[in-house]
Amino acid sequence: MKLLNRQTFIVLALLSCLLCGTAIGTDAQVNVTANQTALALAQKLAGPGITVLNPTLVCPNNANGFFSVVTSNLGLDSGIVLTTGRAATSGSSYGINGTASVNASINNNAPGDPQLATLARSTTFDACRLEFDLIPKGDTISFDYVFGSEEYNTSTCGNYNDAFAFFISGPGITGQQNIALVPGTVIPVAVNSINGGVPGAQGNISNCTSMGAGSPFTSYFVNNAAGTTITYRGFTTVLRASSAVQACSTYHLKMTIADAGNGLFDSGVFIRAGSLKTNTYTIHADSTPGSPKPFVVKGCLPGTITVKRSATASRDQTIKYLIAGTAVNGTDYARIADSVVISARDSIARITISGLTTGPTGTKTIKLYLLSPYSCNGVEVIDSTTLDIVDGIVSNINNNDTSICAGNAVAFSVTGSNTLSYSWSPTAGLNNPSIKEPVAAPATTTPYILTTTYPNSGCAPKLDTVVITVHSLPVIEAGTDQASCEGSTIQLNATITVAETSSVYRWSGPNGFTSNVLNPSIPATMSNTGMYVFTINSDYCPEVKDSLQLSISDPPLAPSVISPLSLCLNSIPQAISARSNANNLVWYTAADGGNGSATAPIPATSATGVTHYYVATRVQQCESARVPIEVIVEKCCGDNVYIPSAFTPNGDGRNDRFNIHVGEDDVVLESRVFNRWGQLVFQGRRNETWDGTFQGQLVELGTYYYHVLINCKSGSQLERKGEVIVVR
């Protein structure tokens, strides 16, 4: 602690009082439990490979304690703290936990430490000292710590620094050596050796540089002026104190801190819980990716077991271990020695475990017990590890090559461990190609390949194959239902679209009818009416059937017709007809053969002549006998009628009369002529002709209109209307 004059001290004391009402945060981020015993503090520090003995504590009750971090920039999570003031904040007295805006300065009125007075070159006060003996099981000891102080930043590079040290003494160490040193140097850790590089108001840079080459070391400094969890305005990063020792020997460690100059402006040292340890040795089987347990597979890539020491050393180190487990050294795995060497300046050595190819024996284990290289208490097992040695890939498809009918499925059966990984290809037809025993329903013949792997083992995949031959389900048609007349012959017309070469087919029907002919003929008798079934069988597919219904009936009656049928030449063509069964007629142009038509023929009337047609009655597939119809095309009444379009009533004996010509035996019943005003100028009976006069006088030249009624010899009447021109 830098010496202050009386006035400065009074000002600082008043400032402390002004701030005392606001110094304590409402939510503690670093918890402190003060006033611990020497044994509790020593045991809190002791880690692996360290035995602590005879702890003593010379320290004000409120100046030491345990700390644990909730949130802080301290760099340590928990441990012990030794201070020159208070460990825990209480009321207006500030300990290490709080904001850096307060003045954590408490005078405990306790004596100093003579060794620290020499180190600080000043009288010391309020010393807090923890001492104990320790026995290491290795050849080094170390622990982690942080030094903090209220002297940052005002007294940085001042004439006096609060002093602290970690003094170790014992075999191989001359006197007491301070191991609280700036890393890589022999410079003690202090405010002047580790800081921000800027002298305080009461400092001079020469006081820092005089600490030694490289001082001040700014990279190890944390400026905490705005800190909210630690009251010290500055502290170091996490540092490590270490010393070489002789394994199993007893050493004395003194951890001490004190104010220098006076009892104000406190400092403290935080030491990580459990960090006081020696160079320990561990052994572990290197993990196998994707597996909760490390393992090696026989005949595949080897595994490793790693032996590690906590720190490097300048010399080789032989580490022995005991070999145990159910696996036999040299039989289940390649023979290994009972020790391994960690090379100088290295921290690990690896033991290679190669599983040897054997028959399936199930999982075996190799267990190694690591022995301490230092015999503090005889042979001592300090760690162990286990590595499984498992059988190589054993995987076989139990199914033989199999034939199935399309649409059916095969459940695969596989011999193999469920810890293996299975993959089938191709994936077509599989319900899941990534499981051990899928179900296959391929659409076509498929060779399936099973690939078995041991995940993360380095083993080459094992392949096995099975062929599923797919036979097509037969596709058949028995044909359409048929109806026929008794006395005819029926042809069954089955078709097979898809069939195996080994397929066998047959027909079955009424009256015990069977046939192995694809398209048999059946006599059309009434007794053969019924259902006919066509069946096909093959070696791999189920029986397939199709059927048709055969109906046999008596022939229908022939239709009655009008024959011969006379038609007039050039009359309008019309379909001929029969007198009965108009909805079931079939028309032909020949007495036998040919294809019938449901549409009645329309005879041509453009020329005279005789044509024969035939008609039958069809009920379902049955037809009556064909009935002939004779069609005669001849000239009729109208064909013989000639009415002139003009005549010349001039008395020259030529074309003097309006003469209507008709056929033989046809009679003009009446003829009438009208002028353009509709006046009747002539009316004749029974083939009478007009001479062109009206009321004894020749009519005027021009157009006149006639209306003629003719009685044909066939008994029908023919009416004609038109124009006639009277010319001279």
DSSP single-letter state for residue 179 = -
pLDDT tens readout for residues 106-118? 889 999 999 998 8
What pLDDT shows up at residue 217?
Answer: 97
Alpha-carbon distance values, 323 to 298, 309, 336, 365, 369 (Å): 19, 20, 9, 11, 7
Q: Do residues 206 and 174 share a domain? A: yes
Judge whether residue 456 has pLDDT over 90. Answer: no
Domain of residue 650, CATH code: 2.60.40
Residue 487 placed within a domain = yes
Tell me which residue of 622, 584, 313, 315 sits closest to 486, measured CA to CA.
622
pLDDT above 80 (res 183): yes
Position 16 pLDDT exceeds 70? no
When pLDDT is averaged across residues 710-723 and rounded to a whole number, the result is: 83
Taking residues 325-341, what's their average pLDDT?
95
pLDDT of res. 580: 60
Assign 28 a pLDDT band (cuts: 50, 70, 90): low
181 and 151 together in one domain: yes
Q: What is the CATH number of the domain that holds 430?
A: 2.60.40.10
**Which structural domain, as residue segments, surrounds residue 481?**
475-552
Residue 506 identity: R
DSSP strand E in 265-401: where? 267-272, 277-278, 281-285, 295-297, 303-309, 317-324, 339-342, 348-353, 364-371, 381-390, 395-397
pLDDT of residue 25: 36
Mean pLDDT of the chain: 88
Looking at residue 582, what is its pLDDT?
63
For the ranges 1-5, 334-338, 645-649, 677-681, the lowest mean pLDDT is seen at 1-5
Do 532 and 621 sit in the same domain of this protein? no
Q: Are residues 296 and 214 in the same domain?
A: no
pLDDT band at 22 (very low <50, low <70, confident <90, very high): very low
Is residue 578's pLDDT more than 80? Answer: no
Binning pLDDT at 50, 70 and 90, where does residue 11 land? very low
Provide mean pLDDT across the span 125-148: 95
pLDDT computed for residue 376 by the predictor: 79
Whether residues 380 and 320 share a domain: the answer is: yes
Contact 533, 550 (CB under 8 A): no
One domain, residues 35 and 113: yes
Q: State the Cα angle at 222 between 27 and 83, rounded to 5°.
A: 65
Residue 461 CA to residue 596 CA, distance in Å, equals 75
Per-residue pLDDT at 551: 85
Q: Please tell me the predicted confidence (pLDDT) of residue 8.
A: 37
170 backbone dihedrals φ, ψ, rounded to 5°: 155, -170
Q: What percent of the chain has pLDDT over 70?
A: 95
pLDDT at residue 41 greater than cutoff 90: yes
What the block records as the tokens of 633 is 């095309």
- 398-423 confidence digits (pLDDT tens): 999 999 999 999 999 999 888 889 99
Residue 660 has pLDDT above 70, yes or no: yes
| 3-state SS, residue 13 | helix
Do residues 60 and 108 make contact, with C-beta atoms less than 8 angstroms apart?
Answer: yes
Give yes or no: residues 288 and 357 share one domain. yes
CATH code of 362's domain: 2.60.40.2030
Q: Is the pLDDT of residue 394 over 80?
A: yes
- With respect to residue 559, please indicate whether it lies within any of the assigned structural domains: no
Q: For residue 27, is pLDDT > 70?
A: no
Out of 278, 297, 332, a domain closes at 278
Give the pLDDT of residue 17. 35
Query: Which residues 6+ apart lie within 8 Å of 578 measured at CB?
Result: 559, 560, 561, 585, 615, 627, 629
Same domain assignment for residues 28 and 177: yes
Asked if the structure places residue 42 within a domain, the reply is yes
What tokens does 79 get?
A: 């441990």
Cα distances (angstroms) measured from residue 185 to each of 5, 211, 213, 476, 696: 35, 11, 9, 100, 170
CB 79 within 8 A of CB 272: yes
Split at pLDDT 50, 70, 90, the class of 24 is: very low
Cis peptide before 438 (omega within 30 of 0): no
Q: Is 239 helix (H, G, I), strand (E, B) or coil?
A: strand
Over the stretch 530-564, which tens digit does the pLDDT of each residue have?
Answer: 999 999 998 888 899 999 999 888 888 888 888 88
**Cα–Cα dist 495/629, whole Å:** 41
The span from the CA of 366 to the CA of 352, in Å, is 12
pTM for this model (two decimals): 0.54
Which one has a higher pLDDT value, 311 or 333?
A: 333
- Omega within 30 of 0 (cis) for the link into 153: yes
pLDDT for the residue 40: 97
What is the distance between the alpha carbons of residues 7 and 28, in angstroms, rounded to a whole number? 34
Residue of 239, 238, 215, 235 lying closest to 223 (CA atoms): 235
Residue 645 inside a domain? The answer is yes
Q: Which of 331, 357, 390 is the last residue of a domain?
A: 390
pLDDT of residue 372: 87
Of 207-211, 390-394, 571-575, least confident by mean pLDDT is 571-575
Domain edge (last residue) among 218, 248, 278: 278
Q: What is the pLDDT of residue 421?
A: 92
- Strand-strand pairing, 64-69 and 78-83: antiparallel
Q: Are residues 116 and 203 in the same domain?
A: yes
Q: Compute the distance between CA of residue 110 and CA of residue 107 in angstroms, rounded to an integer.
A: 8
Q: What average pLDDT does this structure show over 284-311?
A: 87
636 has a pLDDT exceeding 90: no
285 and 204 inside one domain: no
Q: What's the residue count for the chain?
A: 728
Dump pLDDT digits (tens) for 89-100. Answer: 887 788 999 998
Which one-letter DSSP state was computed for residue 658?
A: B
DSSP 97: B
Q: Check if the beta carbon of residue 280 is closer than 8 Å to that of residue 175.
A: no
Same domain, 78 and 176: yes
- Whether residue 303 lies inside any domain: the answer is yes
Other Cβ atoms less than 10 A from the Cβ of 379: the count is 10
Alpha carbons 629 and 560: distance in angstroms, whole number? 10
Average pLDDT over residues 712-727: 85
Tokens 């290491």 -> residue? 136
pLDDT digits (tens, 9 = 90+) for 143-171: 999 999 999 988 899 887 888 999 999 99
Q: For residues 118 and 187, state if they share a domain.
A: yes
Q: How would DSSP label each residue in 581-629? A: -TTSEEEESSSSSS--BSSPP----SS-EEEEEEEEEEETTEE---EEE
Whether the per-residue pLDDT at 208 is higher than 90: the answer is yes
Q: Does 558 reside within a domain?
A: no
In the structure encoding, which two tokens stand for residue 87, read together? 């460990």
CB 332 within 8 A of CB 356: yes
Flag whether pLDDT at 26 surpasses 50: no
Least confident residue range of 557-566, 631-640, 678-687 = 631-640
Do you find a cis peptide bond into 426, omega within 30 degrees of 0? yes
| HEC sequence for 407-460 | CCCEECCEEECCCCEEEEECCCCECCCCCCCCEECCCCCEEEEEEEECCCCCCC
Mean per-residue pLDDT for 270-287?
92
Question: Within a domain: residue 12?
Answer: yes
Give the total number of structural domains in the chain.
Answer: 6
Model confidence at 526, pLDDT cuts 50, 70, 90, reads confident
Whether 294 and 311 have beta carbons less than 8 Å apart is answered as no
* Residue 517: pLDDT over 50: yes
Per-residue pLDDT, 579: 65
Q: Please report which confidence band the pLDDT of residue 349 belongs to, taking 50, 70 and 90 as the band edges.
A: very high
pLDDT score for 23: 34
Three-state SS at 255: strand
Is residue 299 situated within a structural domain?
Answer: yes
Query: Is residue 9 over pLDDT 70?
Result: no
**Better-scored residue on pLDDT, 381 or 467:** 467
